[in-house]
Amino acid sequence: MIYADANGSLPLLPEVRDYLATRIPSQLWGNPNAIHTLGSQIKGGMDKCREIVGDVLGANPTQVIWNSGSSESCSTVLQHVLLPMKTGKTIIYSSPIEHAAIGAALEHYKNVWDYELRYMPVSVDGLVDESWLASELDGNHHRCAMITCMAVNNETGVIQPWEKIRDLSKNHQIPFVCDTTQLIGRLPFHFNDSGLEWAMASGHKLGALPGSGFLLARDPGALKPLVWGGGQESGLRGGTQNYLGVETLAVALQTLPTKLARIPQLNAWRKNLEAGLPSGTVVIGAQLERLPGTMLIGCPGVHGQGVQIELEGQDIFVTTSAACSDNEPATSKVLRAMKIDDILGRSVIRASLPLSASESDYQALLGSLKTAYAKLNRIKAY
């Protein structure tokens, strides 16, 4: 099997499976907030996991807030920034290619709190235009409540100019929310050097247990909680912590430095794969910096779901866009924002190989793509 949906979700890492095989039979179960011995041991384990996150991602352990994942983190940060605004700052600048965890929340604040959403243009190859934002801010920065732009797009894999947008935001003293979900675990990242106020990660993107994640906050004491409860996470996130998920997050992150060292090789293998694709295929964002292993490939006139089915028959698993909208037989909102027409948009498949992929995985994927396109183009011609 070749699993090529890493941007959607990673299977449990072998290291995580091995850890769970030992951990689950243990007697260390209980409420980490209890003062008995079991609770104290579990809480101590979670604190050790905070240290591991801090070591790997360049954060202080006190800046790590455990939660259910990036959707919760995004909602937490957005409500923290937007809910208390009573200052006449009514404009939100965002990219139109954000994940729904940001996009749907912004629509909510637009409808309920009368914010005005203004979207940055996106090039046909998937890059947000920060120069347009700079021009807009020249006249409107005093009315701007927040700016959002993801670090890396989950469909195209294109690395966005988030650092330039961060600097624009700082220059105008405007809160900047950057969704780092596809960045953390796929590219090098150091939180305290990033200049970001917040960063988020989901366990299932890292090969840890689903339903686990964390928010990094530069100033945790200033954060307004989204989930209230019994004072867990220093009062910043109510609810009994998913301590088993937390432990698997730490296990997964400890494997990251070794895997990140493979990025140059992975990029070379991806380049070779794309060079070998049949005539008529298009790789969206091919000339831009992308996540290693991520390819959004289309062939006008050949339906992406047809290609997906052909590959699955060979035990290769890809999606037709983002996994959360894979069942929609239409051009995704990301591609529409890039002004990509339906003929190309409906033909795309996203292959996102993990950092652990081998050269033979890339070669097998290329061979299967050639076979699938040859077959489907014959059917189209007929």
Residue 169 sits in a domain whose CATH number is: 3.40.640.10
Averaged pLDDT for residues 50-72: 98
Helix (H, G, I), strand (E, B) or coil at 29: coil
When pLDDT is averaged across residues 80-96 and rounded to a whole number, the result is 86
Whether 37 and 155 map to the same domain: the answer is: yes
> Considering only CA atoms, which of 194, 222, 212 is closest in space to residue 71?
212
Task: Pick the range with the lowest mean pLDDT from 129-138, 140-149, 323-332.
Answer: 323-332
pLDDT tens digits, 249-281? 999 999 999 999 999 999 999 999 999 999 999
What was the pLDDT predicted at 156? 97
277 and 250 in a common domain? no
Q: How far is Cα 163 from Cα 168, in angstroms, rounded to an integer?
A: 9
**159, 178 Cβ separation under 8 angstroms:** no
Expressed as residue numbers, the domain containing 376 is: 262-381
Q: What is the pLDDT of residues 9-50, one digit of tens each?
A: 999 999 999 999 999 999 899 898 989 998 899 999 999 999
Asked if residue 7 belongs to a domain, the reply is no
Residue 6 inside a domain? The answer is no
pTM of the model: 0.94
As for how many domains the chain has, the answer is 2
In what side-by-side order are the strands of the sheet with 282-283? 282-283, 294-298, 349-352
Average pLDDT, the chain: 94
State the pLDDT at residue 329.
58
pLDDT score of 84 = 65
Say if residue 323's pLDDT is above 70.
no
> What whole-number distance in Å separates Cα of residue 84 and Cα of residue 81?
7
- 221-231 burial, b at 16+ Cβ within 10 Å, e below that, comes to eebebbeeeee
Contacts of residue 203, Cβ cutoff 8 Å, sequence gap at least 6: 69, 209, 210, 211, 212, 213, 245, 248, 249, 252
Q: Are residues 61 and 75 in the same domain?
A: yes
Q: Which residues contact 67 (CB under 8 A, 6 or more apart)?
A: 73, 76, 213, 214, 215, 227, 233, 237
pLDDT in tens, 153-204: 999 999 999 999 999 999 999 999 999 999 999 999 999 999 999 999 999 9
Flag whether 88 is in a domain.
yes
77 lies in the same domain as 203: yes
The pLDDT value recorded for residue 91 is: 95
Q: What is the pLDDT of residue 160?
A: 98
